[in-house]
Structure 1
Amino acid sequence: MKLHLNVSGRVQGVGFRYTTQQIASEIGITGTVKNESDGTVTIEAVGTDKQINQFLDQLKHPQNPFAKVEHIEQQEDATIKDYERFKVVY
């Protein structure tokens, strides 16, 4: 499954991208995470249905006490390339 995610809430300046990278790597998700100028974070995530569901569950309830996810907009996107690993994009 290939998903494009847009995460809103308190997700910039609190280590959310690095926490996301750690979660993705532990689960086996590949893709990218990037801060956007509107204060949201975009994620391209590639993995099995089970991996993606586990990833989404963990994103909704971040272990990082400084982050607060208010909404995750998700859309399947078959055009997302296959990544070798999960990385933070600047």
Structure 2
Amino acid sequence: MLAHVTVTGRVQGVGFRYSAQQQAAQHNLTGWVQNKADGSVELKVEGPEQKVDRFLEEMKAGFTQFIKVKQIDVDRFNKDEGYKQFSIK
């Protein structure tokens, strides 16, 4: 399963991308994360649906006390793009 995610809130300059990469590695998920010019963060994450859902739940909680997630928009696809790892762009 592939999820394309946009996250808004206090998500830049607080370790969000690094935290996302670490959590994805713990769940054996692949994809990427990047900051966007509008202050949001964009991700693509792929793997088994249950693991992706768990990752998204942890993301909603903010990963760390410095991250404050306001909104998460998720588009789900029943396909994989074949990422080999989870990278920070």
TM-score (norm 2): 0.94
Instruction: Answer yes or no: is the 8 Å Cα contact 1:31–1:83 preserved in 2.
Output: yes
CA distance in 1, matches of 2:55, 2:63: 12
The residue that corresponds to 1:56 in the other structure is 56
In the comparison of the two structures, how many residue pairs are matched? 89
CA distance in 1, matches of 2:66, 2:80: 30
CA distance in 1, matches of 2:26, 2:79: 24
What are the ranges of 5 or more consecutive residues in structure 1 without an aligned counterpart?
Answer: none
Deviation for aligned residue 1:27: 0.5
What are the ranges of 5 or more consecutive residues in structure 2 without an aligned counterpart?
Answer: none
CA distance in 2, matches of 1:16, 1:77: 24
Aligned CA RMSD, in angstroms, stands at: 1.3
TM-score (norm 1): 0.93
Instruction: Answer yes or no: is the 8 Å Cα contact 2:16–2:63 preserved in 1.
Output: no
Distance 1:80 1:35, change over 3 A: farther
